[in-house]
Amino acid sequence: MENIPADNPGQIDRRMALKWIGAAAASAALFPLASAQDKLQRPAGAAPGGKRIGTDPVLNKNYVPGDLWPLTLTPKQRKAAASLTDLILPPNNPGDKLPSQLGVQEFIDEWISSPYDETLNDRPVITEGLDWLDAEAQRRFQKDFADLAEPQKCAIADDICGKTAVKKEFKSAQNFFNRFRYLAASGYYTTPQGWKDIGYVGNVPTVNFDGPTPEALKHLGLA
């Protein structure tokens, strides 16, 4: 982890942010890469897009996936990705948007299309995983994954999500699912709706910093 830079500097000591985020997401950072037995191949190494962020990008503008490097997913893969994103992160409230409406699958596409060492291994895992998902949906239900009824989607997801023991033949698919979920959650919980869902209410200018509420202090036995 030492050389993987912090995603969240300055909030505490900047280097510590790295460790702290790492602590909160310990296993998220340790998903296994595709093993040698897996059919999912490691990339040859060449970055797909070529264009990088650079050392001096404009910082105070808003970027969308595709701004810096071309995206990868085919329309079919993108459809499967959108559908799986919505299955993993269903809206809490009636008025909420689906994660796919917030562009979470586009973030995943941006990620796997980027020319960085940190993202390179995910490209084959995600693209081949999405292909597998449609193929498995066809095998079981004769439809693409996105066109399945929810119980059918769940039947496949239950086999690979790792909540119960995963059969040997689904190990590659499980690896895909873990990684996809990591990316989908990262994409979703960084949006304002995701903030609301997770219970993050910061980043709002206030005159005073009030510290913990009486309820929070009581929760911790500090009241």
Closest contact distance (angstroms) between CB of 83 and another protein is: 12
Contact present, 162 and 173 (Cβ < 8 Å)? no
Helical spans, DSSP H, in the chain: 14-24, 75-88, 104-112, 117-120, 122-141, 150-160, 171-189, 192-198, 214-219
* Orientation angle between helical segments 122-141 and 75-88, nearest 10 degrees: 80
Taking the least distance from each CB to another protein, the nearer of 39 and 202 is 202
Closest contact distance (angstroms) between CB of 97 and another protein is: 13
Which candidate, 123, 120, 114, 124, places its Cα nearest to that of 69? 114
Taking the least distance from each CB to another protein, the nearer of 39 and 97 is 97
Contact present, 167 and 159 (Cβ < 8 Å)? yes
Closest contact distance (angstroms) between CB of 87 and another protein is: 6
Taking the least distance from each CB to another protein, the nearer of 75 and 202 is 202
Taking the least distance from each CB to another protein, the nearer of 64 and 135 is 64
Closest contact distance (angstroms) between CB of 181 and another protein is: 6
